[in-house]
Amino acid sequence: MVIVLKPKTQREVINSLIKTIEKKGITVHETIGENYSILGLVGDTSQLNQEQFEAHDCVERAMRVQHPFKLANKLFHPEDTIIQVDDVKIGGGNKAIIAGPCSIESEEQLLTIAKAVKESGANILRGGAYKPRSSPYSFQGLGEEGLKLLKKAKELTGLPTITEAICLDTIEKVAEYADFIQIGARNMQNFALLKKAGQYNKPVVLKRGLSATMEEWLMSAEYIMAEGNHQVILCERGIRTFETYTRNTLDLSAVPVVKEMSHLPVIVDPSHAAGKWSMVEPLSKAAIAVGADGLMIEVHHEPECALSDGAQSLKPEKFNKLMKKLNAMAL
Amino acid sequence: MVIVLKPKTQREVINSLIKTIEKKGITVHETIGENYSILGLVGDTSQLNQEQFEAHDCVERAMRVQHPFKLANKLFHPEDTIIQVDDVKIGGGNKAIIAGPCSIESEEQLLTIAKAVKESGANILRGGAYKPRSSPYSFQGLGEEGLKLLKKAKELTGLPTITEAICLDTIEKVAEYADFIQIGARNMQNFALLKKAGQYNKPVVLKRGLSATMEEWLMSAEYIMAEGNHQVILCERGIRTFETYTRNTLDLSAVPVVKEMSHLPVIVDPSHAAGKWSMVEPLSKAAIAVGADGLMIEVHHEPECALSDGAQSLKPEKFNKLMKKLNAMAL
Amino acid sequence: MVIVLKPKTQREVINSLIKTIEKKGITVHETIGENYSILGLVGDTSQLNQEQFEAHDCVERAMRVQHPFKLANKLFHPEDTIIQVDDVKIGGGNKAIIAGPCSIESEEQLLTIAKAVKESGANILRGGAYKPRSSPYSFQGLGEEGLKLLKKAKELTGLPTITEAICLDTIEKVAEYADFIQIGARNMQNFALLKKAGQYNKPVVLKRGLSATMEEWLMSAEYIMAEGNHQVILCERGIRTFETYTRNTLDLSAVPVVKEMSHLPVIVDPSHAAGKWSMVEPLSKAAIAVGADGLMIEVHHEPECALSDGAQSLKPEKFNKLMKKLNAMAL
Amino acid sequence: MVIVLKPKTQREVINSLIKTIEKKGITVHETIGENYSILGLVGDTSQLNQEQFEAHDCVERAMRVQHPFKLANKLFHPEDTIIQVDDVKIGGGNKAIIAGPCSIESEEQLLTIAKAVKESGANILRGGAYKPRSSPYSFQGLGEEGLKLLKKAKELTGLPTITEAICLDTIEKVAEYADFIQIGARNMQNFALLKKAGQYNKPVVLKRGLSATMEEWLMSAEYIMAEGNHQVILCERGIRTFETYTRNTLDLSAVPVVKEMSHLPVIVDPSHAAGKWSMVEPLSKAAIAVGADGLMIEVHHEPECALSDGAQSLKPEKFNKLMKKLNAMAL
């Protein structure tokens, strides 16, 4: 950690601050500049509270040099994490294609779509049973009934499944029926839910929050990992910016950046970012080209009747064409 | 709702779309332009799913004309909501000054601060027992022990109290010990928690999410109200923008804007927005001048030792001076 | 244009507004809803001033249905624009690889880099002679001396050249020496400069402003085109968001979105967006995959000595490797 | 400046970097941490190029400790700058109320408004003669004809005047006719224009760019000051964020923050930020309460006919009421 002192701070004030820091077992190196002096702190600075330092009248600001996450940090775990469910591997060069409807609506709907995406080459089936909706008057999902259908779809297709856990009361059911637990963007800093997800022996797909920095995203992964579950997959799904033509701005730079900082796999959800099906193909190709470990794509055979996210869902034929193009890119 | 059709859409396609809409009991008015035609929908459009329309190949976009919230909507409830706990009223010209430490750390700490803020004129005491922290390694709050201290502080000072509920497992306790339930910015779209908060007969202070639009914020209030609890107070606490000198950008325009849209009281938290105590005084004065129904301010007698948010906490003497200035503004 | 009226607007006020609009030769269709009534305006609404309508007390808001740009609008010019200089074509399936140093620093520097990028397959040479720098104390470019070196580099390599025009006083010189005129992100709404650029018979590369919406970007292209110069190439170079790990957030969605709205070619500058050379390769591949008509990449043989933007410049060997990978993607 | 080295950087690489730095007359202090080592640079670091350091393979990042602006820096000029034109002072406790139409449209329009705002207590008259418009098809201002009307309005009312200079070709005329030169938000980083504005002996009002950080804004002030003109007034006018209900988000925190960093006066333009006249009163009061040195407000007697910005213009009666309320706040 580096502490920048305010100009003209008196010697005794600096000495007193240094003593406070040294009491915590930290060594302090002082660099005296013409206007600003700085303190370089050496030792286990992860225990230090940056805000306490900034509360001192003499401190201009305190800056961390090292990322605050450890278990998710590539510095300490240089090897790529590979996550496996059944025969499907994600990370370390293995790519996941997760496809399916936004919401599970009926047995016929889910099975129709499941069969179609499997035939086109998807290797994981998605489908929401508990839906986080911005309006209390919108369809909230089929609940456990949906989870049962998801299980049936797996029996039929053999595809491992993923569905979202939206609260402490339902995550147990999600873990019981599905192979992957999804944590949605709006819950990325629902710390109680993250801790709970860390207590299952199931991979967790953690979506990036709409306004989460990459460091905050990795800190949320750290919450899950700190509970003992190291199977975390990060999912970029667009951030909120001033641009409103696309629903969110897909931040594809996040893929190589996060891969520099962490050993965890990173996948991309182009459907939610764009909010428009015509954007899904170009953004999927870009996501693969930028180095993502997989894609999560919404597919619906009757998007005009979908109970959620119809506008961004690909029809099965379009998904099939997309898969062919991705394969041609040597996916 | 207004639906804009793509240029050159064929007559029979338009007719078919109109029939689909009319089947839902909606009347459709068509305006045929040179390039774009539009459909004006009249009737109970709140049941319509905007995204289903946008999934039609012939639809350029669908736009809501009316706000999607009802119970929170000033159009249907023109009178200002006034919320009362003990003798303290908020809204309709009555202002709340909520003050106290970020985290409850000990009996001595809480009581010292509680007495000080009461003497300076605060009328509600804040203090966190369950703390949502971006790092799993940071202090997570005293839990129920903290709630007991909060109750003791109320017995001593007579001030009604507010504390944050961070999950379904602990909200019951929060409702048991405190007078106001706070929902934090990171949980603004934790819909399960909102529904639960809507089941208590206690006022809820709902902080605006870091990247929540005003409409989304009001939809989250609607979640609470739809469960039967109409005592919602909105709290602006800064949004995330490109500017990093302040921790967040306090959006004071939100106060008059939300008051045009809704009858609910709106208060302002300048401490979290700025992240720096020296900004708290000017922003507090601005919040009152812009028309806020109250303030939520962090106060700590030893900010350099605070277990959270030290940098943004006012010392009691500074809080006291601020209160005098606010009173001079005819608070 | 659609005008939404405030609830409870009186009949005679609506009638008077309709008369005002009809006087401009516009036909008005009224749709009367339960709470909100809307007016649909048919005719040449491009002459209408949206803000004048919103100044009426009875108007909630006015919304344009049609994009405000005409010459840049795909609706009226469905064919892709192809721009050609010497043998190099851009657009309609033809891709430009623009490479070279951020700033022209010396004859040796420019010629070394120019030869290297040509050998690797670049087809246009970039190099700044007038540099827009955020600090008045930073290197401001060699000026006309730099333009002369750029011309020399063209004679040597045969590559057409591009350089930035930063003001009315120097654009004449830029147009004299270079093949393409570049308008930088910070000048995207320098309307006097845009008008002037529209008076040359040279292609203009128009970078997107840091906080420009896609519509504003296309309106700036419209400024150039309205003066008679239809040879405009759009360049996405990252937008400003809350994320600070990358210098800007490259908005690759902008490529397919703008291509839906406009017939103009769109290229991508990954160097400025990322601000870090290690991001340039993955982002370049993603830009090609998403459908960009070309790339603009900074190359420097001694980035540690570069007078500007060293951190984001590729060394010639790395640029060479990148070009091989792009060719393998069937660039 | 602080340089953070990459983990595991070899000793000889560090030594070589230190030598390079010391050759520039800078002293280097090394702090060796467990994972990251840092270099603290002492001396005239303002001449150093941060990006050159980041181009070194061994450098993780380089961070400035000191603000890069000097003439605008409060550290070196602790006294508030006070700017005076005729009898009007701005800064150091003196407040300017700048009011008038967005665009000058006719003699009758300008004189009507000028008389009205003077009577209500405004002390500076605004009015645009050259208008930066996002569409080439919108009204572009009366040009020099407008400047002549502005001069006439000054003769009539005695109010000093301000008008915007949008390019190098017209700034001379602006400086000839008006008392203050305004640089608009979209030209905040039009460095050629800033340099030119620095060559006049007239105060310059510099609006903050839509996505400019406070540091960039002060660097633009530095451009003007570096040319010899130290009479710069900063004007906050809203930044671009994800929130679209208001046209821009007025960043009132910028007032106290900039006052901590600089000695220059800071005023606020609530009209452009909100884009809606009903927001102007509450935001004006908040701006005064937060400590602004003045306001810039658009006033029009017939906003429904205004050629620009009608929706955000106050009618003279409303402006008069606002002035009374501001005076009651002991303006």
Q: Are residues A203 and A287 in the same domain?
A: yes
Query: How many Å apart are CA B13 and CA B35, to the nearest integer?
Result: 16
B72 in a domain, yes or no?
no
Amino acid at A27: T
D285 in a domain, yes or no?
yes
Residue range A196-205: mean pLDDT, rounded: 98
B252–D252 C-beta distance less than 8 A? yes
Q: Could you please report the per-residue DSSP string of A26-88? A: -EEEEEE-SS-EEEEEES-GGGS-HHHHHTSTTEEEEE-SS-S-STTBTTT--SPP-EEETTE
Tokens 């930063």 locate to C166
Q: Are residues A203 and A248 in the same domain?
A: yes
Nearest CA in chain B to A170: B192
Q: What is the pLDDT of residues B117-164, one digit of tens each?
A: 999 999 999 999 999 999 999 999 999 999 999 999 999 999 999 999
DSSP classification of residue C125? E
Enumerate the residues of chain C whose CB falls inside 8 A of the CB of residue B242.
Answer: 211, 240-242
Q: Which residues pair with D206 in a beta bridge?
A: D183, D234
A111 in a domain, yes or no?
yes
C34 in a domain, yes or no?
yes
Using CB atoms, list chains with 3+ pairs below 8 Å to chain C.
A, B, D
Res. C48: pLDDT tops 90: no
Q: Could you please report the per-residue DSSP string of D238-306? A: -B--S--SSSSB--TTHHHHHHHHBSS-EEE-HHHHH-SHHHHHHHHHHHHHHT-SEEEEEB-S-GGG-
Nearest CA in chain B to D291: B282
What is the pairing mode between strands B96-100 and B294-298?
parallel
Residue C78's SS3 state is coil
Contact status, residue B236 vs residue B266, Cβ threshold 8 Å: yes
**Smallest Cα distance from A106 to chain B, Å:** 17
Cα-to-chain-centroid distance, residue C11: 46
Q: What is the pLDDT of residues B242-257, one digit of tens each?
A: 999 999 999 999 999 9
Q: Which residues pair with D236 in a beta bridge?
A: D268
**Residue in A256, D193, D207 with CA at minimum distance from that of residue C282:** A256
Query: How many Å apart are CA C191 and CA C220, to the nearest integer?
Result: 8
Chain A touched by B113 (CB under 8 Å): no
Res. A255: pLDDT tops 70: yes
Enumerate the residues of chain B whose CB falls inside 8 A of the CB of residue A303.
Answer: 52, 55
Own/partner long-range contacts of C222-225 (Cβ < 8 Å, ≥24 apart): C222/C69, C222/C70, C222/C71, C222/C72, C222/D135, C222/D136, C223/C191, C223/C194, C223/C195, C223/C198, C223/D136, C224/C194, C224/C195, C224/C197, C224/C198, C225/C71, C225/C72, C225/C198
Res. A50: pLDDT tops 90: no
Strand ranges for C202-269 from DSSP E: 204-207, 232-236, 266-268
Query: How many Å apart are CA A184 and CA B190, to the nearest integer?
Result: 10
In the prediction, which pLDDT does A308 show?
87
Interface of C with D in 124-163 (CB under 8 A): 132-138
Nearest CA in chain D to A38: D40
**Smallest Cα distance from A202 to chain C, Å:** 30
**Residue A74 contacts by C-beta under 8 Å, 6 or more apart in sequence?**
A259, A260, A261, A262, A263
Q: Are residues A131 and A266 in the same domain?
A: yes
Residue A228's SS3 state is coil
Average pLDDT over chain B reads 95
Give the helix ranges, DSSP H, for C158-250: 171-177, 191-197, 214-226
Q: What is the pLDDT of residues A224-246, one digit of tens each?
A: 999 999 999 999 999 999 999 99
Element (H, E) at C166: none
Q: Which two tokens stand for residue B92?
A: 């309709």
Q: Are residues A126 and A201 in the same domain?
A: yes
Q: Are residues D40 and D170 in the same domain?
A: no
Q: How confident is the model at residue C308 (pLDDT cuts 50, 70, 90)?
A: confident
Res. B331: pLDDT tops 60: no
Packed helices A214-226 and A254-261: angle between N→C axes, nearest 10 degrees: 50
In the prediction, which pLDDT does C50 show?
86
Q: What is the pLDDT of residues A112-146, one digit of tens each?
A: 999 999 999 999 999 999 999 999 999 999 999 99
**Smallest Cα distance from A311 to chain B, Å:** 4
Tokens 């994600």 locate to A90
Q: Which two tokens stand for residue A97?
A: 């294609």
In the prediction, which pLDDT does D51 show?
86
Selected residue of C174, C190, C227 to mutate for chain D interface (largest D Cβ count, 10 A): C190
Residue B171's SS3 state is helix
Contact status, residue D103 vs residue D141, Cβ threshold 8 Å: yes
In the prediction, which pLDDT does B34 show?
85
Res. D49: pLDDT tops 70: yes
**Residue in C28, A101, A135 with CA at minimum distance from that of residue B45:** A135
Option in B195, B220, B303 nearest A55 (CB) = B303
Lowest model confidence (mean pLDDT) among A8-12, A95-99, C288-292, D185-189: A8-12
Give the helix ranges, DSSP H, for B23-95: 50-54
**Smallest Cα distance from B170 to chain A, Å:** 10
**Residue in A91, A138, A99 with CA at minimum distance from that of residue A119:** A99
B177 in a domain, yes or no?
yes
Q: How confident is the model at residue D331 (pLDDT cuts 50, 70, 90)?
A: low
Q: Are residues A173 and A34 in the same domain?
A: no
D276 in a domain, yes or no?
yes
Query: How many Å apart are CA C88 and CA C205, to the nearest integer?
Result: 14
Option in C187, C216, C277 nearest D190 (CB) = C187
Res. A330: pLDDT tops 80: no
Chain A touched by B190 (CB under 8 Å): yes
DSSP classification of residue B303? G
CATH at residue C59: 3.30.70.1140
Q: Which two tokens stand for residue A164?
A: 């979202």
> Please, what is the Cα angle at A179 between A262 and B190, to 5 degrees?
70
Q: How confident is the model at residue B238 (pLDDT cuts 50, 70, 90)?
A: very high
Q: Say what the alpha-carbon torsion angle D161, D165, D166, D169 is, to the nearest 10 degrees.
A: 140
Give the helix ranges, DSSP H, for D61-181: 107-120, 144-157, 171-177
**Phi, psi (deg, nearest 5) at residue D216:** -65, -35
Res. D14: pLDDT tops 60: yes
**Residue D296 contacts by C-beta under 8 Å, 6 or more apart in sequence?**
D98, D99, D126, D205, D235, D237, D267, D268, D269, D271
Chain D touched by C63 (CB under 8 Å): no
Q: b/e map of D48-77 (b: 16 or more CB within 10 Å)?
A: bbbbbbbbbebbbebeebbbbbbbbbbbee
Q: Which residues pair with B52 in a beta bridge?
A: none
Return the sign of the alpha-carbon dihedral for residues D121, D124, D127, D131: negative
Using CB atoms, list chains with 3+ pairs below 8 Å to chain A.
B, C, D
Query: How many Å apart are CA B131 and CA B308, to the nearest integer?
Result: 9
Q: Are residues A48 and A127 in the same domain?
A: no
Chain D touched by B84 (CB under 8 Å): no
Q: Residue D39: give the domain boundaries.
A: 2-63
Q: Are residues A9 and A117 in the same domain?
A: no
C241 in a domain, yes or no?
yes
Query: How many Å apart are CA D326 and CA A158, to the nearest integer?
Result: 71
> Please, what is the Cα angle at A101 between A96 and A105, to 5 degrees?
145
Residue C331's SS3 state is coil
In the prediction, which pLDDT does A331 show?
57
Query: How many Å apart are CA C146 and CA C179, to the nearest integer?
Result: 14
Q: How confident is the model at residue D47 (pLDDT cuts 50, 70, 90)?
A: confident
Residue range B1-27: mean pLDDT, rounded: 94
Cα-to-chain-centroid distance, residue A114: 24
Q: How confident is the model at residue C278 (pLDDT cuts 50, 70, 90)?
A: very high
C193–D51 C-beta distance less than 8 A? no
Q: Are residues C242 and C185 in the same domain?
A: yes
Q: Are residues A195 and A319 in the same domain?
A: yes
Q: What is the pLDDT of residues D79-102, one digit of tens each?
A: 999 999 999 999 999 999 999 999
CA dist D12 → A75, D4, D19, D87, D281 (Å): 22, 16, 10, 65, 63
A187–B190 C-beta distance less than 8 A? yes
CATH at residue A181: 3.20.20.70
Q: Are residues C145 and C28 in the same domain?
A: no
**Phi, psi (deg, nearest 5) at residue D49:** -105, 105
Whole-number CA gyration radius for chain B = 23
Residue range B196-212: mean pLDDT, rounded: 98
Interface of A with B in 270-309 (CB under 8 A): 276-277, 303-309
ipTM over 0.90: yes
DSSP classification of residue C87? T
Return the sign of the alpha-carbon dihedral for residues C84, C89, C90, C93: positive
Chain C touched by B213 (CB under 8 Å): no
Q: Are residues B22 and B101 in the same domain?
A: no
Domains held by chain D: number: 2
Q: What is the pLDDT of residues D210-252, one digit of tens each?
A: 999 999 999 999 999 999 999 999 999 999 999 999 999 999 9
CA dist D121 → A179, B317, C109, D100 (Å): 70, 38, 61, 12
In the prediction, which pLDDT does C331 show?
57
In the prediction, which pLDDT does D91 show?
98
DSSP classification of residue A167? S
D210–C138 C-beta distance less than 8 A? no
Strand ranges for chain B from DSSP E: 2-5, 27-32, 37-42, 59-63, 83-85, 88-90, 96-100, 124-126, 161-164, 180-183, 204-207, 232-236, 266-268, 294-298
D177 in a domain, yes or no?
yes
Chain A touched by C250 (CB under 8 Å): yes
Q: How confident is the model at residue D48 (pLDDT cuts 50, 70, 90)?
A: confident
A242–D38 C-beta distance less than 8 A? no
Element (H, E) at A204: strand A204-207
